């Protein structure tokens, strides 16, 4: 429990550094407060889960990338991928952050040819990116070496990959959780099991490229969307993962102020998170309910998460559009 | 002439000797009756068949069943036991210490264990094939023991056998006449003549306990094969005889035990012995405690008649007294009856009738064991094993060790399926209600934790309990797993079975030795009772309810989950796809209501609302719309032509 609290405090400290200074409050403060006071975070700590450690590693990598600390970013990324497989997709926002830096403005905004008021096109530093990859491979080799040494009596690294990443990817255990995959794989016919495994994991991978194309100028927001998607669609989700992206959502409050359905989403989250333990109790402990009750709350939770992601993406794009419109009118006025 | 005679005699003698040294197939059949303290009768059929070693006798047999011979040779079996049981052996009333209880009190359902003489990496394959063969031979679903989640390889706690031993048990297997008939087919006389003709199915299956067992021992594959294959088939039945006659009631609450006979128990009589059997005998065993309680009114123990306490309808041929009895109260007596070749005129119907009421108690096992589940809900629970001392064991132990601290050694072997995930570190031991540290009580523990869908959890333990304890209990916590819908049995809401645990007491060895008369015939059953064997007790089978998913919903679940995924996919891609100018274009195209119908509708809606109607702003590109429409029309015509051509040429 003490470990979890220190992890949270470290997150707070790190996210303070991630402050995107815009208007009134530093967004980093808001993010840190949202994470610390989120009931989901508190529940994760009470449940002695290791999610806060994974969250810490993810935030470390983002912080390192924002501050151009290549070693720290590489360490965070390697450790986060080692602990749970899904942060591998964060390589793209990390590379973009390290290469271009935090305040990458949308390129199209400034494609106007003739204004030269000191805005120079930010260049993409390839040197830093190559350094990042070198450090990442160094950290990865180190971690694999340590794992290999400690597992020498237990039949080695191949067994470790099969039992950790293989287990995550093949969904062998069917215990109920707040995701939607457990019931699906308890009921799917064996003939189609492999097919659906591939489909569900590709759903995460497929969105990486379109999102990267559309949001490459906002790598922090891109990281947030990747984390949100992987925590909805991963094979064994938990509320600790949701706590992370809800905290990171706080970083973008000023940009996402006009998000539609925000109250609907808030009450939806609250409702499903309150109903879910009740349905679990009814099904497993009292025996008066059905598996469908609990699965329905899990599905509703997934739907609300999806709506949150989609709405945040579209409101961020609208915000960019508004910014661009404002900038072009300003540029025109200046001209 | 005399020389010729002497040579022929010599030759005959040599032939006789050589034929004896080559060995012979033997088949003996025996039946034992024992009255039980709770007004029931135990009937124990024992059929033994021996085949000499192959290298001296050859492959062809007269009496020995070919199926078993081929089984032994194909799978290189050294020892095997298969039992089919229905009912629970009542250790309190029927005994737990004597050789018959130790070897014939079996767990309900099917139990199979086998020792193979193959290299260790081939044992699993041999086991799999053996289960399939036995399944076909006995019309039972023993093939469920084939998968690695159903059997285990105990190390040292099971019958002190080691090496290539595999053990498996199916608690839910129902035993019926379909299993008895192939078992009887292995006998030379089937159920047509001899003692096996008594096996009336309705009588057997209406009993309180019946267990048919097949035990195989072979040293065919040893470097020096001496004994060949020995097949022992036993059927143990506990029946309650109907009290036929009314007897005068006796003083007090003592009621006369019911009298029984073969015809009243089985509805049949024995017409003659099996012609292929070497010997055919019936025994009646009276336990030591019973003899002791009857001693007061017994006139002459050494005579063949029971005198004033009980009587037989057929007079016994011999009477054997037990020597070196462990029971303090007295020795047991065995009455033997031989069955001759021909009883067709007067069928052999042994009857036993009581003259005076008598009560006695059987010799119990050192501890009374029971197992039960604790906890509620379908997520976790605990297994508890409770051991309670019996009064008999107390007296025995005190007599043994007076000097140093007396310990009772108890071996526990438990096999738990993988979906009951036992946490072995939560083992707790309580002796007389007080919690003990594990190091004090557990001398040796060997655990093989379960692996999901691969292997069951096996626990072997040696406990050293103080002799003067009253009760001890052992608890283990577990989590319940969740299964795929294919892995549930048809009646999923009944629950799942945890097979019986085996408790053995290596400190004690039970045997029954009888002083044989000079006229005694060599009886395999009696000589088997004289062998030392360890005492075994089986606990109850536990029924664990597991949470079930909704079995009626596979399609619904798949479609609903895929709908959620499609929702995510579609809406996110849609949000990403929207471009800057497109929304304005969309808005503009909405204003462009040039169609006549649209004009009419907008007029109507304006009138209803009471607003002034404005004609829509006309915007130029009507030519472009016309262009689009011609394009669309051309496309439609092209597709129709292709479809027509396909249909024409293919259909």
pLDDT, tens only, B201-253: 999 999 999 999 999 999 888 888 888 899 999 999 999 988 655 555 555 55
pLDDT value at position A107?
A: 53
B561/A184 CB distance under 8 A? yes
B377/A285 CB distance under 8 A? yes
Task: Indicate which CATH number applies to the domain containing B491.
Answer: 2.60.40
Q: Are residues B354 and B420 in the same domain?
A: no
Contacts with A174 from chain B: Cβ below 8 Å: 482-484
Instruction: Give the confidence band of B498 by pLDDT, cuts at 50, 70, 90.
Output: very high
B378/A287 CB distance under 8 A? yes
Average pLDDT over residues B553-577: 92
Which residue, B522, B538, B554, sits at the end of a domain?
Answer: B538
**Is any Cβ of chain A less than 8 angstroms from the Cβ of B563?**
no
Q: What is the DSSP-derived secondary structure letter of residue B342?
A: -
A210/B481 CB distance under 8 A? no
B231, part of any domain = yes
Contacts with B378 from chain A: Cβ below 8 Å: 284-285, 287
Low-confidence residues of chain A, pLDDT below 50?
A: 20-22, 108, 111-116, 118
Among B484, B572, B573, beta carbon nearest to A186: B484
Q: Are residues B185 and B332 in the same domain?
A: yes
Q: Are residues B468 and B405 in the same domain?
A: yes
CA pair distance A311, A256, nearest whole angstrom: 9
Average pLDDT over residues B113-120: 91
Q: Are residues B46 and B130 in the same domain?
A: yes
pLDDT value at position B348?
A: 85
B567/A306 CB distance under 8 A? yes
B475, part of any domain = yes
pLDDT value at position A114?
A: 43
Mutate to test the interface with A, among B378, B421, B547, B548 (most CBs of A within 10 A): B547
- Residue B385 belongs to what domain range? 367-501
Q: Are residues B251 and B348 in the same domain?
A: yes
DSSP string, A234-295: SSS--HHHHHHHHHHHGGGTTTTTT-TTHHHHHHHHHHHHHHHHHHHIIIIIIS-S-HHHHH
Which residue, B472, B501, B530, sits at the end of a domain?
Answer: B501
A213 beta partners:
none
pLDDT, tens only, B20-33: 445 788 999 999 99
B587, part of any domain = no
Kindly tell me if the per-residue pLDDT of B580 is higher than 70.
no
Around B600, how many Cα atoms within 13 Å sit in the side-chain half-sphere? 3
Identify the residue with better confidence: A93 or B510: A93
CA pair distance B177, B179, nearest whole angstrom: 5
pLDDT value at position B315?
A: 85
pLDDT, tens only, B33-64: 999 999 999 999 999 999 988 888 888 888 99
Q: What is the ipTM of this complex?
A: 0.87
CA pair distance B51, B64, nearest whole angstrom: 6
CA pair distance B452, A98, nearest whole angstrom: 43
B402, part of any domain = yes
Among A174, A187, A317, beta carbon nearest to B557: A187
Contacts with A324 from chain B: Cβ below 8 Å: 580
B483, part of any domain = yes
pLDDT value at position B291?
A: 84
Residue B531: both structure tokens together: 């062998």
Torsion of CA B565, B567, B570, B573, to 10 degrees: -80
**Is any Cβ of chain B less than 8 angstroms from the Cβ of A198?**
no
Domain count, chain B: 2
B482/A186 CB distance under 8 A? yes
CA pair distance A237, A232, nearest whole angstrom: 7
pLDDT value at position B108?
A: 94
Q: Are residues B318 and B388 in the same domain?
A: no
B48, part of any domain = yes
In our burial notation (b when 16+ CB lie closer than 10 A, e otherwise), range A246-277 reads: bbbbbbbbebbeebeeeeebeebbeebbebbe
Residue of B nearest to A291 (CA): B549
Instruction: Give the confidence band of B628 by pLDDT, cuts at 50, 70, 90.
Output: low
CA pair distance A223, A97, nearest whole angstrom: 10
Which residue, B478, B501, B524, sits at the end of a domain?
Answer: B501
B256 neighbors B239 (Cβ within 8 angstroms): no
Give the strand order in the sheet containing B26-35: B151-152, B165-170, B109-116, B77-86, B209-218, B229-239, B41-51, B26-35, B279-286, B333-338, B318-323, B513-514
Q: Are residues B38 and B153 in the same domain?
A: yes
Q: Indicate the average pLDDT of chain B.
A: 84
A contact residues 265-294, partner B, Cβ 8 Å cutoff: 283-287, 290-292
Q: Are residues B256 and B404 in the same domain?
A: no
Mutate to test the interface with B, among A111, A203, A211, A310 (most CBs of B within 10 A): A310
Identify the residue with better confidence: A234 or B584: A234
B576/A313 CB distance under 8 A? yes
B482, part of any domain = yes
Give the strand order in the sheet containing B380-389: B367-374, B380-389, B471-480, B420-431, B434-436
pLDDT value at position B533?
A: 85
B484, part of any domain = yes
Percent of chain B with pLDDT over 70: 84
Burial class (CB in 10 A: 0-12, 13-18, 19+), B644: exposed
Q: Are residues B325 and B286 in the same domain?
A: yes
Q: Are residues B224 and B127 in the same domain?
A: yes
Q: Are residues B447 and B522 in the same domain?
A: no
**Is any Cβ of chain A less than 8 angstroms from the Cβ of B493?**
no
Q: Are residues B72 and B104 in the same domain?
A: yes
Contacts with B561 from chain A: Cβ below 8 Å: 180, 183-184, 299
A contact residues 154-193, partner B, Cβ 8 Å cutoff: 172-176, 180, 182-190
Identify the residue with better confidence: B105 or A260: B105
Residue of A nearest to B552 (CA): A187
**Is any Cβ of chain A less than 8 angstroms from the Cβ of B484?**
yes
């Amino acid at each position: 429990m003490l470990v979890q609290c220190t992890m949270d405090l470290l997150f707070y400290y790190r996210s303070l550094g991630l402050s995107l200074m815009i208007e009134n409050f530093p967004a980093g403060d808001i993010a840190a407060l949202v994470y610390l006071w989120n009931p989901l975070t508190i529940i994760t700590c009470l449940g002695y889960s290791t999610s806060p450690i994974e969250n810490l590693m993810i935030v470390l990598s983002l912080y390192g990338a924002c501050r151009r600390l290549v070693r720290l970013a590489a360490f965070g990324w390697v450790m986060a991928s080692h602990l749970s497989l899904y942060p591998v997709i964060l390589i793209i926002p990390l590379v973009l952050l390290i290469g271009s830096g935090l305040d990458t403005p949308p390129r199209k905004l400034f494609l106007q040819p003739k204004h030269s008021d000191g805005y120079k096109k930010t260049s993409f530093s390839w040197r830093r990116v190559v350094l990042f990859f070198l450090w990442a491979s160094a950290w990865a080799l180190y971690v694999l070496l340590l794992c290999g040494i400690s597992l020498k009596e237990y039949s080695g690294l191949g067994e470790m990959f099969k039992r950790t990443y293989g287990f995550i990817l093949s969904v062998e255990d069917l215990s109920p959780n707040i995701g939607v995959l457990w019931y699906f794989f308890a009921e799917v016919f064996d003939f189609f099991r492999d097919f659906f495994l591939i489909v569900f994991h590709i759903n995460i991978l497929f969105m990486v490229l379109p999102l990267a194309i559309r949001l490459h100028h906002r790598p922090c927001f891109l990281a947030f969307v990747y984390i949100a998607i992987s925590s909805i669609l991963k094979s064994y989700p938990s509320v600790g993962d949701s706590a992370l992206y809800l905290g990171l959502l706080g970083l973008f409050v000023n940009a996402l102020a006009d998000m539609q359905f925000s109250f609907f989403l808030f009450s939806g989250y609250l409702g499903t998170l309150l109903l879910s333990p009740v349905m679990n109790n009814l099904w497993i402990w009292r025996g008066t309910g059905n598996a469908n009750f609990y699965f329905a709350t899990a599905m509703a939770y997934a739907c609300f998460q999806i709506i949150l992601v989609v709405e945040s993406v579209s409101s961020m794009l609208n915000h960019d559009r508004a910014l661009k419109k404002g900038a072009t009118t300003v540029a025109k006025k200046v001209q | 002439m005399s020389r010729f005679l002497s040579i022929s005699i010599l030759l005959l003698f040599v032939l006789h000797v050589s034929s004896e040294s080559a060995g012979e197939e033997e088949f003996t059949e025996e039946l034992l009756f024992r009255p039980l303290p709770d007004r029931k009768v135990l009937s124990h059929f024992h059929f033994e068949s021996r085949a000499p070693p192959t290298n001296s006798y050859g492959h062809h047999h007269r009496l020995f069943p070919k199926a078993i011979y081929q089984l032994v040779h194909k799978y290189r079996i050294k020892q095997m036991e298969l039992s089919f049981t229905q009912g629970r052996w009542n250790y309190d009333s029927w005994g737990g210490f004597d050789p018959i209880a130790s070897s014939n009190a079996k767990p309900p359902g099917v139990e199979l264990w086998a020792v193979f003489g193959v290299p260790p990496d081939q044992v699993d394959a041999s086991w799999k094939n053996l289960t399939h063969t036995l399944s076909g031979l006995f019309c039972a679903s023993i093939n469920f023991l084939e998968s690695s989640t159903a059997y285990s390889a105990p190390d040292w706690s099971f019958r002190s056998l080691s090496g290539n031993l595999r053990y498996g048990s199916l608690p839910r297997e129902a035993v019926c006449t379909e299993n008895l008939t192939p078992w009887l087919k292995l006998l030379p006389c089937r159920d047509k003549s001899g003692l096996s003709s008594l096996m009336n199915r309705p009588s057997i299956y209406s009993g309180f306990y019946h267990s048919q067992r097949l035990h195989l021992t072979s040293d065919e594959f040893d470097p020096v094969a001496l004994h060949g294959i020995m097949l022992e088939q036993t059927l143990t039945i506990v029946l309650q005889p109907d009290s036929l006659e009314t007897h005068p009631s006796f003083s007090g609450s003592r009621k006369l035990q019911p009298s029984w006979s073969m015809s009243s128990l089985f509805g049949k009589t024995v017409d003659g012995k099996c012609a292929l059997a070497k010997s055919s005998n019936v025994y009646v065993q009276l336990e030591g405690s019973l003899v002791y309680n009857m001693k007061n009114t017994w006139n002459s123990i050494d005579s063949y008649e029971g005198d004033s306490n009980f009587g037989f309808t057929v007079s016994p041929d011999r009477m054997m007294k037990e020597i070196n009895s462990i029971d303090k109260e007295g020795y047991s007596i065995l009455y033997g009856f031989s069955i001759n070749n021909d009883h067709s005129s007067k069928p052999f119907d042994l009857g036993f009738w009581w003259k005076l009421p008598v009560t006695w108690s059987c010799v119990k096992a050192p501890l009374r064991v029971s197992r039960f589940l604790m906890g509620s809900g379908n997520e976790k629970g605990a297994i508890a094993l409770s051991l309670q001392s019996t009064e008999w064991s107390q007296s025995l132990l005190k007599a043994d060790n007076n000097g140093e601290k007396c310990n009772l050694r108890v071996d526990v072997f438990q096999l738990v399926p993988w979906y009951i995930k036992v946490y072995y570190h939560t083992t707790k031991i309580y002796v007389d209600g007080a919690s003990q540290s594990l190091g004090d009580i557990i001398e040796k523990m060997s655990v093989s934790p379960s692996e999901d869908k691969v292997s069951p959890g096996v626990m072997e333990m040696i406990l050293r309990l103080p002799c003067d304890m009253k009760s001890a209990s052992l608890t283990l916590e577990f989590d319940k797993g969740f299964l795929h819908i294919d892995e549930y049995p048809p009646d999923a809401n009944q629950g799942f079975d945890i097979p019986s645990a085996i408790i053995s007491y290596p400190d004690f060895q039970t045997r029954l030795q009888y002083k044989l008369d000079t006229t005694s015939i060599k009886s395999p059953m009696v000589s088997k009772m004289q062998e030392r064997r360890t005492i075994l007790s089986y606990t109850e089978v536990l029924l664990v309810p597991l949470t079930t998913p909704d079995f009626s919903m596979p399609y619904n679940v798949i479609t609903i989950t895929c709908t959620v995924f499609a929702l995510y996919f579609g809406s996110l891609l849609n949000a990403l796809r929207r471009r800057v100018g497109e929304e304005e274009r969309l808005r503009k195209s909405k204003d462009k209501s040039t169609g006549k119908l649209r004009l009419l509708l907008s007029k109507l809606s304006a009138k209803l609302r009471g607003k002034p109607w404005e004609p829509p702003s006309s915007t130029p590109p009507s030519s472009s719309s016309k262009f689009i429409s011609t394009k669309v029309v051309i496309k439609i015509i092209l597709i129709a032509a292709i479809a027509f051509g396909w249909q024409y040429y293919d259909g």
